[in-house]
């Protein structure tokens, strides 16, 4: 999964929007290898070890599907890393879903977020990738 081909950031549009996607909910890291490369220098950790380390990073497991998937902590305002001046993560660190989100100008004219997410970054793909990883 080559995320660099999917990055379609539009800083101007996102600034005008004010982070509605971020205020809705945090994105997920769809690719386990990318997640471990970012936060643990490629070292792959067991579920128990990662569960202990996530809070220190401001992350949690999103487990609504029965498969633990790392995600930023969710707060009343959405993603705990969202700031009025943008994302608290560097571009390279951001969750896969955040980077792959395709900005839509319609978002400026309506409530909520009209941005689209390519199918390979939908929740189901994250569930499959992490489910396979945890079976290893």
What residues make up the domain containing 91? Answer: 3-135
Task: Supply the pLDDT for residue 103.
Answer: 77
Rounded (5°) CA angle 106-112-113: 55
Residue-level pLDDT at 2: 60
Stated pTM of the model: 0.86
> How many distinct structural domains can be found in the chain?
1
Task: State residue 107's pLDDT score.
Answer: 67
Residues of the chain with pLDDT under 50: none
Q: Give residue 109's pLDDT.
A: 76
Helix (H) or strand (E) holding 50: helix 47-57
């Amino acid at each position: 999964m080559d995320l660099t081909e999917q990055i379609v950031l539009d800083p101007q549009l996102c600034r005008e929007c004010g982070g509605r996607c971020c205020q809705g909910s945090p994105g997920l890291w769809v690719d386990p290898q990318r997640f471990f490369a970012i936060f643990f220098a490629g070292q792959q950790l067991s579920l128990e070890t990662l569960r202990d380390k996530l809070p220190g990073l401001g992350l949690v497991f999103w487990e609504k599907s029965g498969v633990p998937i790392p995600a930023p902590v969710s707060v009343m305002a959405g993603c705990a890393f969202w700031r009025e001046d943008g994302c608290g993560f560097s571009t390279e660190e951001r969750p896969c879903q955040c980077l792959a989100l395709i900005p839509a100008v319609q978002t400026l004219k309506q409530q909520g977020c009209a941005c689209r997410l390519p199918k390979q970054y939908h929740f189901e793909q994250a569930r499959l990738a992490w489910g396979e990883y945890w079976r290893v």
